[in-house]
Chain A
Amino acid sequence: KQEVTQIPAALSVPEGENLVLNCSFTDSAIYNLQWFRQDPGKGLTSLLLIQSSQREQTSGRLNASLDKSSGRSTLYIAASQPGDSATYLCAVPFDKLIFGTGTRLQVFP
């Protein structure tokens, strides 16, 4: 049974810091891993999809890495801004998507 965990559960940083969010999964037989952003009370916005054959995927200030053998992915956010404040979720497909519990990020000015 696939299980996905994320640490830390919450993170509060000053504007401008580079930060790393972590995602772990128990079954390494995945097609891909997807990172989402969720603002309070809102839907899920896809940030990055990283395929199992890839090690990294970049979009603007975001960089996601994937290490299938160790069951880990990281989301790196460069030069964080207050607008980055949200909950970040990772998910892996196991027929359906299995989600982690998320990291709630607050970036203060």
Chain B
Amino acid sequence: DAGVIQSPRHEVTEMGQEVTLRCKPISGHDYLFWYRQTMMRGLELLIYFNNNVPIDDSGMPEDRFSAKMPNASFSTLKIQPSEPRDSAVYFCASAKTGNTEAFFGQGTRLTVV
């Protein structure tokens, strides 16, 4: 397996634009997590899915953020409209269960100017 695949690796966008981050989890993993990493706030859990269903989105900072998982092999995290304070590295991770090791993607470095 190629591991968790995220795209794009880097994204630079202007304030107010819509940004969509993509994630392909490892096949057979039932859990998918989206994290945001910044120097100030560390590694924050934004939302996680179990069997494609969003279970806990309490970490989503505001209504500008939304996440979907239309099938077991694909998830998106959308920011609309984007703001400079959204600049961060966004990681997607998947796991077989909620209690087993999580495999992280390479991350998407987002810069909003």
State yes or no: do A and B come from one complex.
no
| Interfacial residues, chain A to chain B (CB-CB below 8 A) | none
